[in-house]
Amino acid sequence: MGIETAGAAAVPRRSQRRFKQVREVIDALRHGTRRNTRRLAAKREVKQLSDWKDQVEVMVHHGKISVPYSWTVGSTLSKWYVLMRDKGEIWANRCPSCGKVYVPPKIKCNDCYKDMNDWVKLPGTGILESYTVVHYSEPVIQPQEPPIIYGLVKMDGADTAMVHLMGEVEPEQLMVGMRVEAVMSEEREANIFDIRYFRPSAGGEA
Ligand SMILES: [Zn+2]
């Protein structure tokens, strides 16, 4: 059925408006760009969606919902976790193209998109690049009661830094650039808490 033969006078006014809208889109397709068409349709939709607000008192309830979720860690992180659990060691992987060393490991290099099949064992020491102290409680997402210290640790032999808990240290003792070392958990379950935390190392300040 062609739009031109729809017989505008024979159909209700509402349908006429609808035909007009369709015709506008067809015209835009014929004479304009696809972008113009999308913009035209979006503009009309926004107007239709916002019309109702002129006629009602908008009442809003602010709430929060808990949304637990799970996802597979994939082959690369699985290998990393198993090495931590079974050997108590922290490994990284290295890009075969640019040589960048990632910990936690990546399946692809962020820069080159190459497969990361070259694994290197790290000594478990590093430098505290930044930190923050959390004083409020958020039981769903926080691993322990506050105060919690999160540190950004750049491990020796790696080019990336990772966030983890800091332990055996008071907040006032923390310094950016201080030497730290990983403390592995005694009971390891192949997850990020197989590293119990990072603590200041005997080497002291970097
Ligand atoms: Zn690379």
Radius of gyration of the chain (CA): 29
Amino acid identity at 192: I
| Cα separations in angstroms, 24 against 6, 10, 19, 98, 134 | 15, 20, 9, 53, 56
Residue with token string 């597979």: 72
Amino acid identity at 79: K
What integer pLDDT is reported at residue 204 of this predicted model? 52
Report CA(89)–ligand 1 centroid distance (Å).
24
**CA–CA gap between residue 143 and residue 140 (Å, rounded):** 8
Report CA(47)–ligand 1 centroid distance (Å).
47
**CA–CA gap between residue 96 and residue 204 (Å, rounded):** 33
**CA–CA gap between residue 179 and residue 200 (Å, rounded):** 6
Report CA(103)–ligand 1 centroid distance (Å).
14
What integer pLDDT is reported at residue 7 of this predicted model? 41
Structure tokens belonging to residue 119: 């694994």
Asked whether 147 and 138 are in contact (CB, 8 A), the reply is no
Which string of DSSP letters, residue by residue, matches 91-155?
EEEE-TTT--EESS--SB-TTT--B--EEEEE-SEEEEEEEEEE-S--TTT-SSSSSEEEEEEEE
- Write down the pTM of the prediction: 0.66
| pLDDT tens-place string over residues 55-107 | 788 788 899 888 888 889 999 999 999 999 999 999 999 999 999 999 999 99
What integer pLDDT is reported at residue 120 of this predicted model? 97
Q: Domain residue spans in the chain?
A: 9-54, 74-205
User: Which positions ≥6 away from 14 have C-beta within 8 Å?
Assistant: none
For ligand 1, an ion, list residues with CB under 5 A. 95, 97-98, 109, 111-112
Report CA(163)–ligand 1 centroid distance (Å).
22
pLDDT < 50: residue spans in the chain: 1-9, 206
**CA–CA gap between residue 141 and residue 150 (Å, rounded):** 13
Report CA(108)–ligand 1 centroid distance (Å).
8
